[in-house]
Amino acid sequence: MSKKTPPQSGAVVAAVAAPSLPVPTHAEPAAVGLPNGHLVTRAPDVMVDRALRALAARVTNGTSPQAASAAWADYIAHLSRAPGHQMQLIRDAQQSYARLMRQAFGLGGEERVPHPGDHRFDHAGWESPPFSFWKQGFLAAQDWWAEATHEIRGMQPKNAQRVGFTVGQMLDMLAPSNFPLTNPEIIERTLQTGGHNLIKGGENFAADMMQQVAGGEPDQKSSFEVGRNLASTPGQVVFRNDLFELIQYAAQTRTVQAEPILIVPAWIMKYYILDLSQTNSLIAYLVAQGFTVFAMSWCNPTAAQRDLSLDDYHKHGVMAALDAVTKIVPAAKVHACGYCLGGTILSIATATMARNKDDRLASITLLAAQTDFVEAGELLLFIDDSQIAFLEDMMWEKGFLDEKQMSSAFRALRASDLVWSRAVRRYWLGEEEPDFDIAVWNADGTRMPSRMHSEYLRGLFMENRLTAGRFAVDGEVIALRDIEVPFFVLGTESDHIAPWRSVYKAALFTDSELTFALTSGGHNGGILSPPGSAHRHYRIGCRTRDDRYVDPETWARNHPAKEGSWWLDWAAWLTRKSTGSLVTPPAMGAKDAGLAPLCPAPGTYVFQK
């Protein structure tokens, strides 16, 4: 993947503040500060323990063995005390085996079908013996284990889910689609090419292994380049501090809506997921519709920034960006839009503004962003005290959470597709990775400072303080119910990171007018839905202040799917929530306010490695 050499960065402003979200602590010896600002306990035994756990984290790729063993111990203990359940599982296994044998000998029986979204058995060869037998055997094992790992009365639900997830990972590894002698597509391709697919696959494997040994991700050649045909919407960086750069995009229409849009992306990813190739760029679309758009580009933190806190991302991130936007466009309110974690921190900022009677916002949009984390999906399987302590020790050693740990966790959620099916295509079928914009972005990961990530995981993800009424900013608790500006909230149907039912719960904890949209696709693909894209649909509905709460399933039944892109409805909604005044596009930056343009978009931080 090629990228432009970044232009020289100007002077930056330090952004360190006292945390407003205290992290729960355990009794440890007193601590001393080091020159780089982080704390290390004096006690040698604690230092040794943390160093050993950090070393273990390298081996396990950040997964706590204690968390996994505790889940299995809970499951086995409860299963051993449930003879009725054991007998039922034995009967299920016998019935499943008998059904499989009837199918094998052509005696009939209903065939099992893969789960929705599982494309490993799409090839026609899987319908012919012996491949059909292996396919049905795998699906039977998958169904039986799914039943066997259901929660047993008395055990902790999370442990049952973790056991089921672990078994699913093992089954995905052993699927017949992964092996050349049991996959009809691999056999067919080998016969067609005279074995050249295996030669090419071996070359791909060797190249990937060499890249891994060198300490990096596989370097795939791509025609996409940041600043040329990715993140290429024209604009200027008009503000910069240690935490982010603020990009103002150049107007493409003679007049623009008076109210600008401020986009707050997640710091877990590079911002240009919202500004990919020009035909797949949400930012370019908004600019073309006559909006003045600003977007934050977060830094890629280093070990020296290990003490950046969640409060820093709020005050020196979102609020600093809003201050800059309102200086450049001083006479108008701002439409604020947050994506993923950017939406969570924007919700915190907006609730704080509501408490402080700060009325600079015209609306708030949350794209695949959670405010409540009780139903935060499969990522919750990785979150408990043991796992977080393990991650904290790993981050204590480095000063940040490496992007490799995050990408590994996300791949594990969809291992059958992102790990094993990819390996089959690349190593057995000899296929190159497809060259498209989102794949280049996906390989361009970012780190997270240790203090901030610990505060986020403990305070929000595990303790759910924001909607539990225990999240404090400047010593005072904030509440989403205080927000009076209208909401536009978007969920995506197959989101594994921010499940749409969890995103929908913004309707449960707010009182202001709220428009909810549910679109097809996943966490990233659902957001990228330019008009004209094939096979796209969405649902949309509005809740007024006087409407009663409706649960997500009822809401989905009451709002039929519409074909097309949700972008159109969102742009129309933003226009309705504006004053309707069309004005001359504002100047780039505000030199008199100390916000002179610094360099062309996409800026310098997007190139940080």
Q: What is residue 181's DSSP assignment?
A: T
SS (H, E, C) 580-604: CCEECCCCCCEHHHCECCCEECCCC
User: d(Cα 223, Cα 24) in Å, to the nearest integer?
Assistant: 47
Instruction: State the Cα angle at 437 between 431 and 438, rounded to 5°.
Output: 90
Sheet holding 487-492, edge to edge: 562-563, 537-543, 514-519, 487-492, 361-367, 334-339, 261-264, 293-298, 244-249, 235-240, 599-600
CB 338 within 8 A of CB 344: yes
User: d(Cα 78, Cα 406) in Å, to the nearest integer?
Assistant: 32
User: d(Cα 157, Cα 78) in Å, to the nearest integer?
Assistant: 12
Amino acid at 469: G
Cβ partners under 8 Å of residue 215, min gap 6: none
The token duo for 559 is: 């709002």
C-beta pairs of 551-558 under 8 Å, 24+ apart in sequence: 552/500, 552/501, 552/504, 555/504, 555/516, 556/518
Amino acid at 555: W
User: d(Cα 298, Cα 301) in Å, to the nearest integer?
Assistant: 9
Instruction: State the Cα angle at 540 between 361 and 437, rounded to 5°.
Output: 80
In the chain, the N- to C-terminal Cα span, in Å, equals 13
Residue 386 CB coordination number (10 Å): 15
User: d(Cα 399, Cα 394) in Å, to the nearest integer?
Assistant: 8
Active site residues: 340
SS (H, E, C) 332-381: CCEEEEEECHHHHHHHHHHHHHHHCCCCCEEEEEEECCCCCCCCCHHHHH
Peptide bond into 486 cis (omega under 30): no
The token duo for 535 is: 């096979």
User: d(Cα 491, Cα 487) in Å, to the nearest integer?
Assistant: 13
Cβ partners under 8 Å of residue 325, min gap 6: 246, 260, 262, 294, 334
CB 478 within 8 A of CB 355: yes
How remote is the C-alpha of 185 from its chain's centroid? 32
